Structure 1
Amino acid sequence: MIIEELRDLIERHVRPDMSTPVEGVMIARDEVSTLEASMSGTVMALVAQGRKRLALGDRVYEYGPGQYLVSSLDLPVTGQFLDAGPDRPALGFGMLLDPAAIAELLLQGGAAAMPDGRGTPPSGIMVSEAPVQLLDAVLRLLRLFDRPRDLAMLAPLIKREILWWLIVGEQGATVRQLGLAGSNLSRIAQAVRWIREHYAKTFHVEDVADICGMSPSAFYRNFQAATAMSPIQFQKQMRLQEARLLLAASPNDVAGVGYRVGYDSPSQFSREYRRQFGTSPSQDALQLRGGELSLAAGLA
């Protein structure tokens, strides 16, 4: 059975940092069921064992063995494995989604016959059942880890095949927009990058809309559809996640960390931090210093 062989290959080849010999491909093993905040990355993630629940804004996604998730934007998410443990760890495969590679496949595969992606973008995260063609391609890619002589030649071909099954699959509309330079999703991706780079600064939605070449109303509508958040809510998520990373390095400087991520009011920083992470910045800093919390969620 494909899923069983996927589990065996992941268990055999997994590394602590999730890296593999193939650029842009990751495999993960996780025994922890802790709720964790992270950035999703622009990725396809396939579960071979275990179940994961992921929250994006007010949307909740759950996926398990034989299902895959596509994240078309690098989004702030909160997730946890529901039943992972030492005796039955969660196992997964991930592959970064390269817009240039998708664009090339669209040109070669007849993009003119596919929707052009000019409408409202789909949600930035979606979950589907993996078709057998996709599972088979992932399996053949992992098998190459045992054949290093063939890896360099065949792995790029199988990665293209995986992308193709995503392009023509149930989530194809989302993946295709990644490869279309003029799509609304590509414009929202530009906005996401800009907010991530300027998260500590106050901005006006109209200014970001102008950067993306959209009217303020169209920008707000498309941003909300793709990210399940308003641009200001997205900025707040970025500030709080960055604050948590900074607290891990500077646990005794809570006020300074709040100021560095853009908060002028320590009380507002503490209030929003507690709402996001369930504890105050000072309490969380102590736990982070003791290594009790994880800051990475692994594959989306």
Structure 2
Amino acid sequence: MDGTNHRQTAYEEQRMLSSRMELIERIMRAMPTDGVCEPIQGVHLGRLSTPMEKLHSVLEPSLCIIAQGSKAIFVGDNRYQYDPFNYFLATIELPRVSQVLEASKEKPYLSFRLGLDPNIVGSVLVEAGYMAPSGNADVRAIDVSPLDADLMEAVIRLVRLIETPQHGRVLKPLITREIIYRLLMGDQGGRLCHLTVSGSYTPQIARAIERLRQDFDQSLRIEDLAQEMGMSVSSFHQHFKAVTAMSPLQFQKRLRLQEARRLMLGEDLDATSAAYRVGYNDASYFSREYKSLFGIPPIRDIQQLKETMDENPE
């Protein structure tokens, strides 16, 4: 029996190694230079030749796999690190900070990301007859789990469609459903219920997140938002933080500051104008909040970002 288990383990390891090497090769062919691209709708590839400073953004529901290198994701006070042996799953749009930890010109960081459509996820859940465990209804919306050979091989088949687009219209929906099914049967199956109407308080929290995203520049009373979701204030706080790792006010603040940064960088707004656009009435307070999140005041931060963009136009 021990010999059989050993042979099975060795076989699985060989499958994983073969798939990882193919994923590296295919991403390198699709991306000969650093950057990000979306060669197939919903499929995003990334390449980076140097470790990256922390990047603030909003992460959509996605499956993320690294072919080469490693990365850390920060959400609230939590840190999630993953590499070619683990996958990262996010099931609700959340403000996050990401940082590529391992990358070089000889061995660039290479990544795959598949956006998760709630309608497709819901359809697979129904077809599979999946019932979420009651204890998992309010699990956090993000986590890292070991990557297995079956899931990896399904991802490889999806990436192969980049070079055979004539087959994509028929095969992409089928392979995407297989990937979702394999996620459903894995460690994070219960987490996928965040994308559907299943679960306990998850639908209310998802609605609250969408409301905060739409009206991030408005003054929202948490008491009113909790009442709108049909929850007590204490229950709303508890379940919101359980899913997002942040309080509602922290969540709104990060959305505001990230949008202000985008306005200053992309639309050339000054700090005061950007502050008012995202809902701050006090420019000094905005500057303090901005520095607490990004590490330096707005003017210096934007200047540094522009200098970095000038040095690395790609």
1:241 aligns with 2:258: yes
Q: Distance in 2 between matches of 1:217 and 1:144?
A: 48
Contact map agreement 1:3 1:66 (CA 8 A) in 2: no
Tell me how far 1:141 sits from its aligned partner.
1.3
Tell me how far 1:288 sits from its aligned partner.
3.1
1:271 aligns with 2:288: yes
Deviation string, structure 1 residues 98-149 (Cα, Å, up to 9, x no partner):
111111111111134x4257x6511121001111110010011112222233
Which residue pairs with 1:92 in the alignment? 111
1:199 aligns with 2:216: yes
1:67 aligns with 2:114: no
Amino acid at match of 2:93: D
Q: TM-score, normalised by structure 2?
A: 0.87
Amino acid at match of 1:289: K
Which residue pairs with 1:297 in the alignment? none
Any gaps of 5 or more consecutive residues in structure 1? 295-300
Residue 282 to residue 166, structure 1, CA distance change in 2 (3 Å): same
Bigger relative contact order (CA 8 A; separation at least 6)? 1
1:131 aligns with 2:148: yes
Contact map agreement 1:251 1:289 (CA 8 A) in 2: no
1:28 aligns with 2:28: no
Q: Distance in 2 between matches of 1:289 and 1:250?
A: 12
**1:93-112 alignment, distance < 5 Å:** 93-112=112-131
Amino acid at match of 2:70: R
Which residue pairs with 2:298 in the alignment? 281
Stretch of structure 1 that moved more, 119-128 or 179-188: 179-188
Aligned residue pairs, count: 291
Q: Distance in 1 between matches of 2:302 and 2:279?
A: 18
Contact map agreement 2:44 2:113 (CA 8 A) in 1: yes
Percent identical: 36
Residue 63 to residue 259, structure 1, CA distance change in 2 (3 Å): same
Stretch of structure 1 that moved more, 67-76 or 32-41: 32-41
Any gaps of 5 or more consecutive residues in structure 2? 1-17
Which residue pairs with 1:147 in the alignment? 164
Which residue pairs with 1:47 in the alignment? 66
- Secondary structure of the 1:19 match is strand
- Secondary structure of the 1:37 match is strand
Residue 286 to residue 177, structure 1, CA distance change in 2 (3 Å): closer
Residue 257 to residue 149, structure 1, CA distance change in 2 (3 Å): closer
Stretch of structure 1 that moved more, 54-63 or 96-105: 96-105
Deviation string, structure 1 residues 241-290 (Cα, Å, up to 9, x no partner):
01110110354621111111111111111111111111111111222333
Q: Distance in 2 between matches of 1:40 and 1:270?
A: 24
Residue 252 to residue 115, structure 1, CA distance change in 2 (3 Å): closer
Residue 120 to residue 247, structure 1, CA distance change in 2 (3 Å): same
Q: Distance in 2 between matches of 1:68 and 1:258?
A: 37
Residue 150 to residue 224, structure 1, CA distance change in 2 (3 Å): same
Q: Distance in 1 between matches of 2:162 and 2:257?
A: 38
CA RMSD of aligned residues (A): 2.0
Contact map agreement 1:124 1:226 (CA 8 A) in 2: yes
Runs of 4+ in 1 over 6 A off after TM superposition: none
Which residue pairs with 1:232 in the alignment? 249
Residue 293 to residue 226, structure 1, CA distance change in 2 (3 Å): farther
Which residue pairs with 1:298 in the alignment? none
Contact map agreement 1:273 1:281 (CA 8 A) in 2: yes
Contact map agreement 2:137 2:199 (CA 8 A) in 1: no
Q: TM-score, normalised by structure 1?
A: 0.90
Amino acid at match of 2:72: R
Amino acid at match of 1:91: L
Q: Distance in 1 between matches of 2:179 and 2:197?
A: 18
